[in-house]
Amino acid sequence: MTDTWLIVGLGNPGSEYSGNRHNVGQMVLDELASRIGGKFKVHKSRAQVVEGRLGIGGPRVVLAKPMTYMNVSGGPVSALAKFFDVAPDHVIAVHDEIDIPFNTVKLKIGGGEGGHNGLRDISKALATKDYLRVRVGVGRPPGRMDTADFVLRDFATPEKKDLPFLLDEAADAVELLITEGLLSAQQKHHAARS
C-alpha cells in the first residue's frame, strides 16, 4: 500500500445541489483543492479528482468528489482506493452531520453511520467501517421538517455568513488529521467547542 491519502467529499452531482447542506463535504474539498493549487478533472472511477501534496514535500493526497448521488458513493470510493492503492485507514470521508450543531467539526474513525446513506454505502463498498470521517455539522431540521428535505436545502442566509469559516475549519481538520493524526486533530477541533 502507498502512503497516499484519499479524501472524499460527499454530496450530490449537479448545480442544483451545489449549495445544499448535503454537499458541504464537496465544498470542503473545493477549499482543499484551492490550497494545493489543483483543479478537479474527471477520473474513470466516476469521480472528479485532484492529485497533489499538502505543503512542500508533504503527504500525497487525492481529493475526490464522486459524480454519483450520495447514497451510491461507495462504488467510486472503492474504485479510487484500488486505483491509487489506498488502504481504508488512509481514506477520509468529509460529510454533513445533522447530529452536531452547525459550525462544528468533529472527527472519528469507524463506528456507525447514523442513518447517513452515503457512509453506509462506502462502508459496504470498502467492506469495513474503519475509515476516517470529518463530520461537518449542519444542525438538526427545525420542527417536524423531514431530514431529507432539510439536508437538500441550501444553507440559510445567517449560516451563509459563517459558512466560509466552517469550510476553512473543516479543511484545517483534514490537514491536521493527515499530518498529526486523529487524536491530535480531535483534541484541537473538539476542544474548540467545549
Please enumerate in sequence order all residues whose Cβ is within 8 A of that of 49, keeping only pairs 6 or more positions apart, or say none. Answer: 40, 41, 42, 43, 62, 63, 64, 65, 80
Q: Is 43 tagged catalytic?
A: no
Collapse the DSSP code of 7 into the 3-class scheme (helix H, G, I; strand E, B; otherwise coil) and give the result. Answer: strand
Rounded Cα distance between 19 and 11, Å, is 10
The answer to whether 8 and 66 are in contact (CB under 8 A) is yes
Rounded Cα distance between 67 and 12, Å, is 7
Rounded Cα distance between 160 and 46, Å, is 29
The answer to whether 28 and 63 are in contact (CB under 8 A) is no
Q: Give the position of cell 463535504.
A: 25
Which of 98, 151, 93 lies closest to 125, judged by CA? Answer: 93
Of 22, 43, 95, 116, the active-site residue reads 22
Using the 8-state DSSP alphabet, how is residue 103 labeled?
A: T
Active centre residues (catalytic): 22
